[in-house]
Structure 1
Amino acid sequence: MAFGVTKRLVFYCIIATLGSVIYGWEVGMLNIIFSMRSTYGVRFGTFTNNGKGEFVATPSKATRESIITPMFTFGCVFGSILAMSLMDRIGRTKPLALGSFIYTIGSLIQTFSNTIVVFCIGRFIAGIACGVTMVVSPVYIAEITPKNRRGAMGLLFNFNLQAGFFFASIADTLCLKLIKGEAQWRTAVGCQLIPAVLFMTLIWFGPETPRYLLMKNQDEKALDVLAKVREKSKNDQEVIEEYTDMRDKLKAEVTDGVVRWGQLFTNKFYLYRIALCCILQFLHMLVGVNAINYYSSQIYKDYLNIDAAKWGSWLVVINNLFVVVFSIPALKYVEKAGRRKILVLGALVLAICMFLIFLLCLILDKTGHAVFGVLCVICTYIYSVAYGWSWGSTVYVWQSEIFPLRIRSKANAIAMMFQYAGSVLVTGSVSILMKYLKYYTFLIFMAMATIAFIFSLLCIKETKGLSLEDMENLYSIDKKVNPKLRGDQDIKRDIDNAFDIKKC
């Protein structure tokens, strides 16, 4: 039984992934907005006029940027906590709708702010919204997609995330080049209202997932939604088979209800999976992607001697365009290659790229030959494309698949908190690290990518082709610690061994 990709499935997945568009937009916009020295920089105290018509960095620039940047991520942590309680209570689509509304409020506050405090409050509120949507969206996609297409549809999440980066960079670049005065940065920030309003409008067209409806004993409605997404009659034999298999396994799985917090951290079966995803998400950020996302335009200026005012923003646009374009083939090949192989090879490429970026910056610094600057820019492009192909997409796909329904909302939210913790660590420190360590900072990210390579090689199991209900028997530890997987013969053997006098 192998369903294809239907128009409705793609439409519903695109709606859900608008949550990743707003996340990508919010993260991507600061890269170029930080370059608006005479407007944004003066307003928020990162640049000042030296009296010669030049805008130079203030002594507190690194500190201010280290406050502004992670405020969004702090909000994401709170949003993840909120998502935990919402997903099991009101479903998948309603938290996405709530997130779109909260994000719009945060965007408006940022657009009309006049002080760094108000701007940070707006970013914090926007972060709460994205914390909700980044937890819920991958789960929504995994729960409505057939197992043979789950990887490709999951990559839509990353594709739209990268699209958010691209559209933010091109909108901000146009504002930088075409608009003067306060309207320059306010228009650039206000452009994020475009995806926010679009998301807030379209999310109401998305149905609830069949698996959540089954969990709430709305069996008939679950069958109707499944048939609708598959674009077949609910009497179709394949739909009935998928529904019956899904229903029987889920009913058995959630017999005891949703897992409580105490069970979550005392049951080795749950704890092992949560630990894997938490480490995976933490490394997901420590490989250094946000150093490129937030500070690439400054890297081009400070280490590669590229005129940031003239070329910096356009280089960011080209970088994001390459990532979007080269993410398209990944939609086709993820089901063939599998998740584990992509993570392993991706981490290896990221480590190599970070080392080359460091090496080329070092050679350029010692020789002054511009060709090494060009090669370094190319390496940052390769890094971004490799990240988009691998860790930027596959981490979310693997995480959305690995947890049983009874812990899925709590476990996904906990894992996402570790992504945000890693993001706060990177975004809060990279500006200061680059101030004192300069391009040697890239060696730290190379080391983290190497650790990510070793971890994914040794600890990640392949999930390609398995149904969500069959993930419970993925690791060798599962059968030892999960009673639901132990058959009658296993139990009978344990009882016989327990009363075998010869073994006493």
Structure 2
Amino acid sequence: MSETKQNHLIALTSSSSSTEAKVTIPPKSKFKWRVVDDHSPKEIYNFTLYFSVVIFGLFCGLSRGLDEGQSINLYQPSFRNLFGLNDPNKTEHEIADLKSNINSMVQMGSIAGAIIAMYVVDKIGRVLALREFCIIWATGAIIQMTSKSLGQLYAGRFIEGLAIGQSTTIGPSYMAEVAPPLRRGLFGCMFSGAVYMGILLSYAANYGTAKNISGTSNTQWMIPISLKVILATLAFIGSFFCHESPRWLFKHGHDEKAMINLCKIRHLSPDHPYILSEVSDISEQIATERAATEGVSIFNKFKDLVTVKSIRYRFFVIGCLSQILGQWSGANSITIYAGDLFSFIGLKGLEVMKMTMILGVVKLCGAYFGAFFVIDFLGRRRALYIGITLQLVSLLYFAIFLQVDPHAIEKGAILSTSQENAGKAAMAAIYLSGVGWVLGFNSIQYLLGSEIFPLKHRSFCQSLIMVLHFANQYGNSKAVPSMLIGLKKYGTFYFFVGVCVCSLLWCWFFVPEVTGRSLESMEDVFNLPWYLIGRRGAELCPDHSALNRIMHSDEIEGGLDDIEKSHQHYIEDAGVSRDDSSEEKVNNKP
């Protein structure tokens, strides 16, 4: 027998017979600044899985980010001249309204896109939906690039919104369904992190063209938009190398194809205990749903949102409030109107674009720091606490700065040394608020919606939540320019601080910890009384899914042969246990 380490899976089974032996190999106690998956086979983390995450997570997220970063086009001289932003005949309110219309037109399309996704993503599958999204995304970008009038620009941005509205359902839903439970947070954050990669790419492209291309040439703002066409093409090609979600296939009765895809994504054989356990979890949930909801129409799904307690709590208290509080906490305003905010502290011209590009770098680094080291390691609740608190403190400082030193924005203002230092600190506060956002709300608003709902409601509810997301983002984009005038600049940021305070209370009382739970185990948590779900849900309802009854070890002394001589080895398969030391099969329902 070789003395090398061997991988071995041992199903933890319950037994009524005292003669049946069980082998339990506890995972080693480790402390690392990342989640260590000690009880899953290493094969499940493979190139096929990572490639799918890149295509669905990275490219869908980039679509949102490139659009939000495109707001910096409003500071390109050629763009401003062509679309009337430099028109001296327009009043301050008219310019603010024009800015908000250009920025918010994508949100208008995104509301329609999210509604379309409610049907399309579940009807044709995640992969086909991704291809359809790519075609619409590229079409909208091409219309914008060729715009010669404001109407054509609006049309292109609206069509692009039809794609972006679907991306927030397609990407997170697919990744939640293929991700191993302990990496679901990481993969979900790939989408939210990619949003800031897109923002950075757009900021950097606009800065580069503004610096190197004449302000009289329309290529100054067309080149950054062309990135969308390139990325849409790459995502479309990449989709042909991705495998359809096994959970979606099981749900639609394509069991054989689902098993094939699951084995390809996990790089395991069909009779492997991990595959059998995962299929058992999925099949059990689907069978339960089919028995209870056969013939359910879309009207019944809407009805469930109101009448079924666990669905109602998940949709309204978690999904909807995460969008309302998140969108009005000020972070989206900072991303879209970053140029204006940097001008408030005395920056001008290319310096504004350079600082927005640095903001993109900060948010991107913060997003992936959260993805790799926070969201799964510390959990959803703690990540929210940290992010919202950092965002609150930063916005509070910025509001105080604008109130105490309102003259920095004035043209030709001469600032004292202390005022300049305070302005630099205010600029740092903008960056820190971005870090707080990506660590907290930005990850949760996509992640929770894709993981807390049962399979039959997942795409439907995620799409509805994204409708609310884009509706709030549209309202926010439209309102902020007017808020900065009506509430004054500092008053607007005090409003955002108040929203952050409410968000901390919401997180403490209502948001349960679901890190590491299988998607099929969420029901128990949300069937608790409403006042226990957030504060004690994870404690009162541990995860008893089949995947969590599997233990994995790389260090079994003596190897498999020695274990098989002294113990019986059981493998659970949909309630049936097989004794490897004999050919007898017995029922063993846990």
TM-score scaled by structure 2? 0.77
Q: What's 1:149 paired with?
A: 183
Partners of 1:46 and 1:57 within 8 A in 2: no
Match of 2:333 among 291, 306, 311: 291
Q: What's 1:39 paired with?
A: 78
Match of 2:227 among 191, 200, 211: 191
Give matches, 1:5-16, under 5 Å.
5-16=45-56
Shift of 1:60: 2.1
Q: What's 1:48 paired with?
A: 87
Q: State the AA in 2 paired with 1:291.
A: S
Shift of 1:57: 7.9
| 2:388 counterpart of 1:347 | yes
Partners of 1:254 and 1:405 within 8 A in 2: no
User: What are the Cα deviations for residues 220-251 of structure 1, in whole angstroms up to 9, with x where unaligned?
Assistant: 21111111111222232222222223222322
Distance 2:164 2:156 in 1: 12
Give matches, 1:418-497, under 5 Å.
418-436=468-486, 437-477=488-528
Bigger Rg, which one: 2
Secondary structure of the residue aligned to 1:205 is coil
Match of 2:287 among 251, 276, 284: 251
Q: State the AA in 1 paired with 2:485.
A: K
| 2:260 counterpart of 1:260 | no
Partners of 1:304 and 1:364 within 8 A in 2: no
Distance 2:91 2:362 in 1: 31
Match of 2:101 among 54, 63, 67: 67
Match of 1:404 among 454, 462, 480: 454
Secondary structure of the residue aligned to 1:235 is coil
Q: What's 1:357 paired with?
A: 398
Q: What's 1:77 paired with?
A: 111
CA RMSD of aligned residues (A): 2.0
Residue range with higher mean Cα deviation, 194-203 or 376-385: 194-203
Partners of 1:214 and 1:247 within 8 A in 2: yes
Shift of 1:259: 5.8
Shift of 1:186: 2.0
Match of 2:379 among 335, 338, 359: 338
| 2:261 counterpart of 1:211 | no
Q: What's 1:485 paired with?
A: none
Q: State the AA in 1 paired with 2:152.
A: V
Partners of 1:154 and 1:393 within 8 A in 2: yes
Give matches, 1:77-226, under 5 Å.
77-180=111-214, 181-226=217-262
Q: What's 2:364 paired with?
A: 324
Q: What's 2:554 paired with?
A: none
Partners of 2:387 and 2:435 within 8 A in 1: no
Residue range with higher mean Cα deviation, 152-161 or 58-67: 58-67
Q: Which structure 2 residue ranges, 5 or more long, are not aligned?
A: 1-38, 409-414, 532-590
Q: Which structure 1 residue ranges, 5 or more long, are not aligned?
A: 51-55, 481-504
User: What are the Cα deviations for residues 384-425 of structure 1, in whole angstroms up to 9, with x where unaligned?
Assistant: 111112111122111111101111111111111111121011
Q: What's 2:20 paired with?
A: none
User: What are the Cα deviations for residues 283-306 of structure 1, in whole angstroms up to 9, with x where unaligned?
Assistant: 1211111211111111111x2111
Partners of 1:71 and 1:120 within 8 A in 2: yes
TM-score scaled by structure 1? 0.89
Distance 2:530 2:492 in 1: 43
Q: What's 1:498 paired with?
A: none
Partners of 2:389 and 2:436 within 8 A in 1: no
Is the alpha carbon distance of 1:443 and 1:469 closer, same or farther for their aligned partners in structure 2, counting shifts above 3 Å? same
Q: State the AA in 2 paired with 1:271.
A: R
Distance 1:88 1:46 in 2: 42
Residue range with higher mean Cα deviation, 376-385 or 223-232: 223-232
Q: What's 2:268 paired with?
A: 232
Q: What's 1:242 paired with?
A: 278
User: What are the Cα deviations for residues 271-319 of structure 1, in whole angstroms up to 9, with x where unaligned?
Assistant: 2211121111121211111211111111111x21112x13111111111
Distance 2:97 2:445 in 1: 31
Is the alpha carbon distance of 1:117 and 1:217 closer, same or farther for their aligned partners in structure 2, counting shifts above 3 Å? same
Distance 2:490 2:78 in 1: 28
Partners of 2:339 and 2:353 within 8 A in 1: yes
User: What are the Cα deviations for residues 400-459 of structure 1, in whole angstroms up to 9, with x where unaligned?
Assistant: 111011111111111111111210111001112223412321111111111111111111
Q: State the AA in 1 paired with 2:201.
A: F
Larger RCO (CA under 8 A, 6+ residues apart): 2
Q: What's 1:380 paired with?
A: 430
Secondary structure of the residue aligned to 2:87 is strand
Give matches, 1:297-312, under 5 Å.
297-301=339-343, 303-307=344-348, 309-312=349-352
Shift of 1:253: 2.5
Distance 1:13 1:158 in 2: 12
Query: Greater share of helix residues, 1 or 2?
Result: 1
Residue range with higher mean Cα deviation, 317-326 or 210-219: 317-326
User: What are the Cα deviations for residues 456-476 of structure 1, in whole angstroms up to 9, with x where unaligned?
Assistant: 111111111211111111135
Shift of 1:366: 6.1
Distance 1:145 1:363 in 2: 49
Partners of 1:259 and 1:407 within 8 A in 2: no
Partners of 1:472 and 1:478 within 8 A in 2: no
Q: What's 2:321 paired with?
A: 279
Q: State the AA in 2 paired with 1:326.
A: G
How many residue pairs match? The answer is 471
